[in-house]
Chains A and B, each alone.
Chain A
Amino acid sequence: MSFAVVVFPGSNCDRDCFHVIDKVLGQPVEYIWHRDHEIPDGIDCVIVPGGFSYGDYLRSGAVAKMSPIMDAVARFARAGGKVLGICNGFQILLEAGLLPGAMQRNTSLEFICKPVHLRCATRRTAFTGSLSEGQVLQIPIAHAEGNYFIDDDGLERLQDNAQIVFQYANAMGEVTVGANPNGSVHNIAGICNEAGNVVGMMPHPERAAESILGSVDGLALFESVLGQ
């Protein structure tokens, strides 16, 4: 399985994702520059990594969605290619319309970096097949704009189509107000498109992929996509 990691000028988790795919999973991986117009042939999975794509001075991801590469990512996704947007990558996928909803600033108005617990809400996506529904993962977050918003109709659609992938939960997997770090609607930490091949999530699975860093729970996402 071949991976590609998109690099915007201000991406800063691109190297981390590359490291995990290359060194931990031993899979072929290459970078794609944001000015490129095509996803190279033979790529099965595109990672849109975290960071501050264009400084995020406007709204996270608002400028990045206009990069040439995002048209290519959209075409790739429509053709069934697997796309994982992490943190800023998730914000970009929202801005680009590949996923529904929008991000607001965290309710604390502060950047938050800490490990959180996630409840896997569906295993039907390209990145959660190896998990079980209700499984609890410990994966860190690191963002200032992770307060996911969608209106009531939109939320109903997400629920009806099983598009909610991860919810912030406590260590027992209970989705509680106290477990919600940023004010997200319905404790949403990650969602997918209707087809399930595009997933966006605020937590960083690449930071939870080696035991020396404290958790290997994030590996399951990469292993899921490999298992297909």
Chain B
Amino acid sequence: MDVKELAIRHGLTEEEYQLVLDELGRTPTAPEVGVVSAMWSEHCSYKSSRVHLKRLPTTGPQVVQGPGENAGAVDIGDGLAAVFKMESHNHPSYIEPYQGAATGVGGILRDVFTMGARPVGNLNSLRFGAIDHERTPYLYHGVVAGIAGYGNCVGVPTVGGEVYFDPSYNGNILVNVFTVGIAEKDGIFRGVAAGIGNPIFYVGAGTGRDGIHGATMASEQFDEGSEEKRPTVQVGDPFREKLLIEACLELMRTGAIIGIQDMGAAGLTSSSVEMADRGNNGVRIQIHDIPMREEGMNAYECLLSESQERMLVVLERGREDEVARVFDKWELEWAQIGEVIDGDRFEVFEGEEQVVDLPVSLLTSSAPCYERPMKRPAYMDALTEALPEEPEDLSEALAALLASPNICSRRPIFEQFDHMVGVGTVVAPGQGDAAVLRVPGTDAALAIAVDCNPRYCYLDPYEGARLAVAECARNISCTGAKPLGTTDCMNFGDPTNPEIMWQFARAIDGMSEACLALDVPVVGGNVSLYNASSNVDIYPTPTVALVGRFEQPLQESRGYCTMAFEQAGDAVLVLGTTRVADMGGSEYLWTTTGELGARPPKLDLEAEVALQDLLRELISDGVLASAHDCSEGGLGVALVESCLASKNLLGVDLEFLDVIERADLTLFSESPSRVVVSTRWDDFDTVLEAAARAHVPASLIGKVTERSRVVWGEHLDLALGEAKDRHETGLHMLD
């Protein structure tokens, strides 16, 4: 095969190949073709998305590390930083769900601990096809078990997440995983190859032939033959990852490390090239020195293998013994495989023979960058308003919503995750709107959450992205924490389709606006394109995860909130405005009619900011007994969830709730910027007064009751025992 044909088969376009020829002034070698195609893949180069990503807000006084490193970081006080990032592992997880999801967790953990942070919490955001699609049970069980298998073994608690089932993901599921770690604010490590002559060490697992060209696979659509790509999915070893975490953190404490980076997508190639780029230096690598677990691997395979649990370390010259001491102790492989060199070359030798000689800049700053054509999707003009018939039995309608796959209890998932290891989990899955983690041994505490309603984003990517950021921040504020920073996973379809690029661009605009308004700069993230199968694109899914901090140290049941009603007799209030027009994209509309409607709920960012400020003020003053955001299923579902989370299955009597137009729409509208709160009866005036001062609409709607029923005059009377059964068994059809 000639070299050009090889390049095309590796995913380079004819124009891109010509660019390589022009830059080099010669025909590239086969390993060079592999290196260029991997670095220029969508996954590594962000060539379709870069022009848009620039519009995201990325700065603020709280930002310790913005985009461009392995993970972002924000200041959480006490001299500490929260280091966090979210990443997608969509394509591998569809092909091999267990290993795809497991290695996703492994990769995101490495992105965080490479910064010098000990990982303290994981989240995940999962999208599966319709719950009754034939492939969904297999993919669901594989992905959940894969996340559990990896996270549980490394000893990092998986403390929350979100899951949607929708036919748009039938042929392309999404697995987005998030890790937050804690580092000394002044002790953050970066992926930089600095200091000419400094040795480059390879540490961790040996290199095998697994995962070669995974980054390229993630940059293409799926088709009939995708199953055959199973060999490009890597196999994870969480035990080795655990050793790698401990060994790297121990080596970092010696002060001998100049720079360190995980070998993720495009393995040794991207890690060494990116480190060289950040250091404004070149690197020289000797293939024969790489620890291998298979015989006879050539330069091409070694450069592009995506074998897991490997790191690249640039060490201060003269301190090589420290690597040996630490990595021998943890029984991990290590080898010096190269050095930092003067200039701008990525040089790879196989013995005496030089097989790669490329300018670093060709692979990084000079990589192609496209302003792809955009077009407002035609389907958007065909969207029509829809409204369900008013049900005869509202109690049954509520119970049915509680059992819907997108609302029902996630217990079958989160009980498979060790969500308590680390003795930091203050608010566990199912208890609050966000996970709350304290950092043992310090006064620091965090709240973390992840969100995205893909139906809203399909109806309007701009509004949908704004809503995702607002809801995620609201979830953080419902615990009492202040949102500080954002990481995102931009999961979209095929970028060569102008309608998809339009969705992408609009989502970025919406996200930018909301992040700016809520003061949560984007400090890192990931773009996953080509989420399409046989030319059917997924719904645009700009998933966001936020990290917030508590400004006061947490004390037992003070300074933070869960969603659980606390005691009978407490007043129940709603903060925010319910609009019955906000039915578009709602779970109620979808489950009753199969329609999406014409437009997502309307978000006013100013009102959102006022609401969240008020919430945090009330929680830190100790006024609220519970706080729970209204999202899918609206007020009705939020109220039942607060009942179900309570210790003794407390009920609620909605004696003061007014009907707006129709009782069902009042209960199930998904107007954003609303929170159900409870407070001691004597304090409800305090809440109303504070809300009035903050210009947040608020109303008393009822009272918490001993009796385990949700009652609303003549409209509703639902026994919580039944509600609980329906809620807990919603995912049973996957078994």
Stretch at the interface among A37-45, A126-134, A155-163, A202-210: A202-210
The residues in B between 416 and 453 inclusive whose CB is less than 8 angstroms from any CB of A are 416-423, 425-426, 428, 438, 440-441
Among B239, B417, B438, contact of A57 (Cβ-Cβ < 8 Å)? B239
Among A12, A13, A112, A209, contact of B154 (Cβ-Cβ < 8 Å)? A12
The residues in A between 48 and 71 inclusive whose CB is less than 8 angstroms from any CB of B are 50-52, 54-57
A54 with B239: CB separation less than 8 A = yes
What 1/0 mask marks residues of chain B from 267 to 290 whose CB sits below 8 Å from any chain A CB? 000000000000000000000000
- Chain A interface residue bracket vs B: 20 to 34
B153 with A142: CB separation less than 8 A = no
If A10-B242, A23-B440 touch, whether A51 touches B418 (CB-CB below 8 Å) is no
If A23-B441, A55-B153 touch, whether A10 touches B423 (CB-CB below 8 Å) is no
Task: Give Cα A113 to B331, complex, Å.
Answer: 30
The residues in B between 9 and 67 inclusive whose CB is less than 8 angstroms from any CB of A are none
**Minimum C-beta distance from A15 to chain B (A):** 8
Query: In the complex, what residues of A have CB within 8 A of residue B426's CB?
Result: 212-213
Task: Give Cα A115 to B231, complex, Å.
Answer: 40
Task: Give Cα A110 to B734, complex, Å.
Answer: 15
Among A51, A110, A114, A210, contact of B145 (Cβ-Cβ < 8 Å)? A110
B555 with A9: CB separation less than 8 A = no
Q: Does B689 contact A (CB under 8 A)?
A: no
A113 with B419: CB separation less than 8 A = yes
A51 with B155: CB separation less than 8 A = yes
CB-based nearest B residue for A181:
B415
Q: Does A78 contact B (CB under 8 A)?
A: no
Q: Does A20 contact B (CB under 8 A)?
A: yes
Task: Give Cα A51 to B243, complex, Å.
Answer: 12
Q: Does B238 contact A (CB under 8 A)?
A: yes
Q: Does A211 contact B (CB under 8 A)?
A: yes
What 1/0 mask marks residues of chain A from 9 to 39 whose CB sits below 8 Å from any chain B CB? 1101101100110010000000000000000
Query: In the complex, what residues of A have CB within 8 A of residue B428's CB?
Result: 214
The residues in B between 548 and 565 inclusive whose CB is less than 8 angstroms from any CB of A are 554-556
Q: Does B162 contact A (CB under 8 A)?
A: no
B237 with A55: CB separation less than 8 A = yes
A9 with B152: CB separation less than 8 A = no
CB-based nearest A residue for B118:
A15
A112 with B416: CB separation less than 8 A = yes
Q: Does B330 contact A (CB under 8 A)?
A: yes
Q: Does A140 contact B (CB under 8 A)?
A: yes
Among B148, B155, B238, contact of A13 (Cβ-Cβ < 8 Å)? B155
Among A12, A57, A144, A209, contact of B242 (Cβ-Cβ < 8 Å)? A12
Task: Give Cα A13 to B418, complex, Å.
Answer: 11
Task: Give Cα A114 to B417, complex, Å.
Answer: 9
A-B pair count, CB < 8 Å, reads 88
Task: Give Cα A10 to B418, complex, Å.
Answer: 15
If A23-B441, A110-B416 touch, whether A213 touches B423 (CB-CB below 8 Å) is yes
**Minimum C-beta distance from A221 to chain B (A):** 15
Task: Give Cα A29 to B242, complex, Å.
Answer: 23
Max chain A C-beta neighbours (<10 A), residue from B148, B428, B440: B440
Query: In the complex, what residues of B have CB within 8 A of residue A111's CB?
Result: 148-149, 152, 416-418
Query: In the complex, what residues of A have CB within 8 A of residue B423's CB?
Result: 16, 19-20, 206-207, 209-210, 213
Query: In the complex, what residues of A have CB within 8 A of residue B330's CB?
Result: 9
Task: Give Cα A134 to B149, complex, Å.
Answer: 35
What 1/0 mask marks residues of chain A from 96 to 139 whose CB sits below 8 Å from any chain B CB? 00000000000000111110000000000000000000000000
Task: Give Cα A114 to B430, complex, Å.
Answer: 12
Count the B residues whose beta carbon is within 8 Å of the partner chain — how many? 35
**Minimum C-beta distance from A140 to chain B (A):** 6
Among B239, B440, B554, contact of A19 (Cβ-Cβ < 8 Å)? B440
Query: In the complex, what residues of B have CB within 8 A of residue A211's CB?
Result: 556
Query: In the complex, what residues of A have CB within 8 A of residue B419's CB?
Result: 113
Query: In the complex, what residues of A have CB within 8 A of residue B153's CB?
Result: 10, 12, 52, 55-56
A9 with B420: CB separation less than 8 A = no
The residues in B between 368 and 424 inclusive whose CB is less than 8 angstroms from any CB of A are 414-423
Query: In the complex, what residues of A have CB within 8 A of residue B240's CB?
Result: 55
CB-based nearest B residue for A7:
B246
**Minimum C-beta distance from A173 to chain B (A):** 18
Query: In the complex, what residues of B have CB within 8 A of residue A142's CB?
Result: 152, 418, 420-421
**Minimum C-beta distance from B509 to chain A (A):** 40
If A52-B153, A213-B425 touch, whether A112 touches B242 (CB-CB below 8 Å) is no
**Minimum C-beta distance from A220 to chain B (A):** 17
Query: In the complex, what residues of A have CB within 8 A of residue B417's CB?
Result: 111, 113
**Minimum C-beta distance from B144 to chain A (A):** 9
Task: Give Cα A12 to B331, complex, Å.
Answer: 17
Among A19, A56, A213, contact of B441 (Cβ-Cβ < 8 Å)? A19
Query: In the complex, what residues of B have CB within 8 A of residue A207's CB?
Result: 420-421, 423
Query: In the complex, what residues of A have CB within 8 A of residue B149's CB?
Result: 111
Query: In the complex, what residues of A have CB within 8 A of residue B554's CB?
Result: 212
B242 with A16: CB separation less than 8 A = no
The residues in A between 142 and 156 inclusive whose CB is less than 8 angstroms from any CB of B are 142, 144
Task: Give Cα A15 to B441, complex, Å.
Answer: 11
Query: In the complex, what residues of B have CB within 8 A of residue A212's CB?
Result: 426, 438, 554-556
Query: In the complex, what residues of A have CB within 8 A of residue B441's CB?
Result: 19, 23
Query: In the complex, what residues of A have CB within 8 A of residue B331's CB?
Result: 9
B415 with A16: CB separation less than 8 A = no
Task: Give Cα A54 to B419, complex, Å.
Answer: 21
Task: Give Cα A10 to B330, complex, Å.
Answer: 10
B440 with A9: CB separation less than 8 A = no
B239 with A52: CB separation less than 8 A = yes
Task: Give Cα A212 to B440, complex, Å.
Answer: 11
Task: Give Cα A210 to B441, complex, Å.
Answer: 13
B238 with A55: CB separation less than 8 A = yes
B421 with A13: CB separation less than 8 A = yes
Task: Give Cα A110 to B422, complex, Å.
Answer: 21
Task: Give Cα A213 to B237, complex, Å.
Answer: 30
Query: In the complex, what residues of A have CB within 8 A of residue B148's CB?
Result: 110-111
B239 with A10: CB separation less than 8 A = yes
Query: In the complex, what residues of B have CB within 8 A of residue A209's CB?
Result: 423
B416 with A113: CB separation less than 8 A = yes
**Minimum C-beta distance from A7 to chain B (A):** 9
CB-based nearest A residue for B240:
A55
Among A10, A16, A54, A114, contact of B421 (Cβ-Cβ < 8 Å)? A16
Among B239, B415, B425, contact of A55 (Cβ-Cβ < 8 Å)? B239
Task: Give Cα A207 to B154, complex, Å.
Answer: 17
CB-based nearest B residue for A23:
B441
A114 with B555: CB separation less than 8 A = no
Task: Give Cα A19 to B423, complex, Å.
Answer: 9
**Minimum C-beta distance from B226 to chain A (A):** 28
Query: In the complex, what residues of B have CB within 8 A of residue A16's CB?
Result: 421-423
| New A-B contacts (11) at CB < 8 Å, excluding given A52-B153, A142-B152, A207-B421 | A9-B242, A12-B154, A12-B155, A19-B423, A52-B238, A55-B153, A55-B238, A56-B239, A110-B416, A111-B148, A111-B152
**24 contacting pairs across A/B (C-beta < 8 A):** A9-B239, A9-B243, A9-B246, A12-B155, A12-B421, A19-B423, A23-B440, A52-B153, A52-B155, A52-B242, A56-B239, A57-B239, A111-B152, A111-B417, A112-B416, A113-B414, A113-B416, A142-B152, A210-B423, A211-B556, A212-B426, A212-B438, A212-B556, A214-B428
Question: 5 tightest A-B contacts by CB?
Answer: A12-B155, A55-B239, A52-B153, A16-B423, A211-B556
